[in-house]
Structure 1
Amino acid sequence: MNGAMEPAGGEPEEVEGEGSGETGALRPSRRGLLGLLGAGVAGLAVGGAGGAAIAASAAGGQTAAGRSSVVPFHGEHQAGIVTPAQDRLHFAAFNMVSGSSRDDLIQLLRDWSEAAERLTQGRPLGTGLEPGDALLPPDDTGEAEGLQAGNLTLTFGLGRSLFTGSGEGGSEDPYGIRSQLPAAFEPLPSFAFDLLEPAQSGGDLCVQACADDPQVAVHAIRNLARIAVGRTHLAWSQLGFGRTASTSRRQDTPRNLFGFKDGTMNVMSDETEALAEHVWVGDEAPAWLRGGSYIVTRKILMTIEAWDRASLAEQERTFGRTKLAGAPLTGGGEFDHPDFAAERDGAPVIDMAAHVRLAHPDQNGGTRILRRGYNYVDGSNELGQLGAGLFFISFQRDPAAFVRLQRSLKHDLLGEYIRHISSGLWAVPGGVRRGEFVGQRLFD
């Protein structure tokens, strides 16, 4: 999954898996252009209150060389899972248009795969910014022109509703794939601290765009949404900045908006056996999902103002870690194992309801996940309170692993300072081979 660096000052280097030759222009159909006037365009604004700030920072902090790295789109697994976590996110959920067919879904995934290959190479779509006929819209929206690939990864997921229908009087097998529904693909239950907003939850499809440059990630989702018009529309999206998780010990563990390091015991990209056990789907699933995973997203609103008034002692008791070093309260370094049996003055050093205790694999039968979360800020309300928090992302072999962990957090001290306002679960098909499209084996 390592990216190929481009030669200094040149175009992104050709990498294994790149398609041969120029592809055709990816324009919305006539039906799509009509659909553009309805649902879909407005969805681009959802979750984007922080968009101006993120876009404005696109030019800062990244050298041209730093933006030119290419992550191959093709491979055994989809990119954007064990890929070293980039600093920026644009996550989007889509719903299929009412009346869309199996052929519409297949062609959409073909078009998205073709576009994703070019976007992750830092190449413009179709004829780029200048169509042969100036009376036509450009094939590429153009805001990423000159920014190069930026380590962009695009990870695609399929929602359970594609297999079962919406449950609102429509077909129970709208795309002829219900027989391919994995047994483990069950809806997430309700959890403690859930105040979910339906308009920001779920979706028939999802796309996770991660990049080193925020404008590269936004450009990718914008163009995929544009290509999809008439077949699916953007239901909701979320911008993220400042990754809150590491996928490798070579990356520093970042901090969340509470100022703490978290998730240090989660699966890392170099743990081959742990990935096979906890992240990659195996022979228990239909062939189309093998080598894939399940992605869970949770938008977690932090009550920043209440947290900022809490004492350091209370904050550290809540997490079970020191704030500065990120080490367990029982001592050692950030990655040292907490001593959950340690006591001081007859009481546990790490509170029985501390986050590090309740979330630790030792307390959950060895359950582990791979995390790729991001901070977000969606502006503030009329009271001056920040709409900010964590956009949590995890990959796991079985959604039941996430359910177990989340249920363990029912009594988490963090519950006083957080609310879960968005939730989603999608199956992530295995990697895309050259000449294939995302999820192709589902339809073969």
Structure 2
Amino acid sequence: MSEAEATDPAITPTRRGLLGMIGTGVAGLALGGAGGAAVTAAALAGTGADGSSGSVVPFHGAHQAGIVTPAQDRLHFASFRMVRGATRDDLIALLQDWTAAAEQLCRGEALGTGIESEDPLLPPDDTGEAEGLHAGHLTLTFGLGHQLFTGEEDDADPFGIRAKLPDTFTPLPSFAFDLLEATQSGGDLCVQACADDPQIAVHAIRNLARIAIGRAHLSWSQLGFGRTSSTSRDQETPRNLFGFKDGTMNIMSDERAALDAHVWVGGSAPEWMRGGTYLVARKILMTIETWDRTSLLEQERVFGRTKRTGGPATGGGEFEQPDFTATNAAGEPTIDIAAHVRLAHPDQNGGARILRRGYNYVDGSNGLGQMGGGLFFISFQRDPAMFVRVQQSLKPDLLNEYIRHIGSGLWAVPRGIAQGEFVAQALFE
């Protein structure tokens, strides 16, 4: 059974979900009759509109969930740092406790005794804000930062794992135009929580952060919405905050050969990383107000794609391969030599492909009335050098005029967790 397949039987809808579905059902009845009725009936039956049932993504498997799992609509990404003086035993105990909690959370279960403590003088085991929301296709993906192996001075071994540091796991270099903020970059551990409901994702991170107290602390986190990439052919390609379809050429979950070649670690890597991958996160601020005053012609030149269909400027539908040799009536390249689609294409990067899993974000606005929104870019690749190559090729990208990279991080994502194991257990054996 794949990560995307549900394992639990049909469940009844939550009060929140039912009210929301009834609202859309009423609108559907007013507009189209049978369609709205079908959606509402599906809600009452505890099934999706397509007749599918359950909302649990398996936690255990050869690879961690949340990578090739069909991308959910909501994200809460969190970076943690180990507290000063934490020991190897503290790290192991934390990963064990996180694993036990993650198994429950991904099944939609409350932690421990739930929202009612056995002793009313003590706080409950579960914070309770996701009570009744069920699993919501929650996935929790865990990663380990470079400093976990080397310490802050890059020559230590605080947790006795330096000898198992993969040769390919080197920090990302500085890229052109980086304006990185330390408060939104790096970390010893990361957790990517994706779900259908933002409250489910936030609940998971909140409880993992509480479990970590005394051993690790939350360093920074990011909420995301409106996935900007598809990982399944059943999903329509979404749009970013610039209004363009994003991730058209993404690696899909059924491309097994491509996943083996570009995503999953294999070969001579340490055993604990075989079947794992590397996660890159980049917080990219969009200068939205400037973009919104830019002509459609210029916007399409920047991306090298049409805004309405997402197809390349050389013609055809969204998934048509761009023709980088095509020229216009003036003899100039139809797709600008600095267009994003050209510079990011595998043909321009030695065939390198990455699996993208990013999200839109909005962090309010500043005193000038400018929206603090953009793309929280996430990618998975078997070697960080693959991301570095693509990012360096984007130095002359026309898109750079409209974006600012303000956050960054790289983590090793261990292979999947088997029943009875904890996250990265093989690293400590």
Structure 1 and Structure 2 fold alike (TM over 0.5): yes
Aligned identity (percent) is 73
Q: Classify the secondary structure of the residue corresponding to 2:200.
A: helix
Matched, 1:255 2:239: yes
Task: Tell me the alpha carbon deviations over residues 148-198 of structure 1, each in whole angstroms, 9 at most, x when there is no partner.
Answer: 000000000000001000118xx7000000000000000000112210001
CA distance in 2, matches of 1:198, 1:233: 16
| Residue in 1 that maps onto 2:380 | 395
Q: Classify the secondary structure of the residue corresponding to 2:394.
A: helix
Task: Tell me the alpha carbon deviations over residues 113-135 of structure 1, each in whole angstroms, 9 at most, x when there is no partner.
Answer: 00000000000000001111100
What code does the residue aligned with 1:236 have? W
CA distance in 2, matches of 1:221, 1:406: 29
CA distance in 2, matches of 1:164, 1:11: 47
CA contact (8 A) 2:62 2:416 kept: yes
What code does the residue aligned with 1:144 have? A
CA distance in 1, matches of 2:364, 2:54: 31
| Residue in 2 that maps onto 1:230 | 214
Matched, 1:94 2:47: no
CA contact (8 A) 1:326 1:334 kept: yes
Match of 1:157 among 143, 152, 161: 143
CA contact (8 A) 2:229 2:250 kept: no
| Residue in 2 that maps onto 1:374 | 359
CA distance in 2, matches of 1:325, 1:443: 49
Matched, 1:363 2:365: no
CA contact (8 A) 1:373 1:393 kept: yes
| Residue in 2 that maps onto 1:27 | none
Q: Classify the secondary structure of the residue corresponding to 2:116.
A: coil
CA contact (8 A) 1:193 1:418 kept: no
Q: CA deviation at 1:264?
A: 1.6
Cα distance, 1:167–1:59 mapped onto 2, change above 3 Å: farther
| Residue in 2 that maps onto 1:201 | 185
| Stretches of structure 2 lacking an aligned partner (at least 5 in a row) | 25-42
CA distance in 1, matches of 2:320, 2:110: 46
| Residue in 2 that maps onto 1:298 | 282
Matched, 1:108 2:94: yes
Matched, 1:4 2:13: no
CA contact (8 A) 2:11 2:54 kept: no
| Residue in 2 that maps onto 1:39 | none
Matched, 1:318 2:302: yes
| Residue in 1 that maps onto 2:414 | 429
Task: Tell me the alpha carbon deviations over residues 85-104 of structure 1, each in whole angstroms, 9 at most, x when there is no partner.
Answer: 00000000000000000000
Q: Classify the secondary structure of the residue corresponding to 1:111.
A: helix
CA contact (8 A) 1:58 1:214 kept: no
Task: Tell me the alpha carbon deviations over residues 309-365 of structure 1, each in whole angstroms, 9 at most, x when there is no partner.
Answer: 000000000000000000000000100100000001211100000000000001111
CA contact (8 A) 1:92 1:206 kept: yes
Residues 17-166 of structure 1 mapped to structure 2, 5 A cutoff: 60=20, 65=47, 68-166=54-152
Q: CA deviation at 1:226?
A: 0.3
Structure possessing the higher relative contact order (Cα contacts under 8 Å, 6 or more residues apart): 1
Matched, 1:438 2:415: no
CA contact (8 A) 1:201 1:424 kept: yes
* TM-score normalised by L of structure 2: 0.90
CA contact (8 A) 1:296 1:395 kept: yes
Cα distance, 1:121–1:59 mapped onto 2, change above 3 Å: farther
| Residue in 2 that maps onto 1:32 | none
Cα distance, 1:366–1:395 mapped onto 2, change above 3 Å: same
CA contact (8 A) 1:128 1:139 kept: yes
- What is the number of residues matched between the two proteins? 399
What code does the residue aligned with 1:249 have? R
Q: Classify the secondary structure of the residue corresponding to 2:191.
A: strand
Q: CA deviation at 1:284?
A: 2.2
CA distance in 1, matches of 2:246, 2:216: 36
CA distance in 2, matches of 1:92, 1:203: 9
CA contact (8 A) 1:74 1:431 kept: yes
CA distance in 2, matches of 1:244, 1:178: 35
Runs of at least 4 residues off by over 3 Å:
5-12, 56-68
Cα distance, 1:104–1:132 mapped onto 2, change above 3 Å: same
CA contact (8 A) 1:293 1:397 kept: yes
Residues 209-288 of structure 1 mapped to structure 2, 5 A cutoff: 209-288=193-272
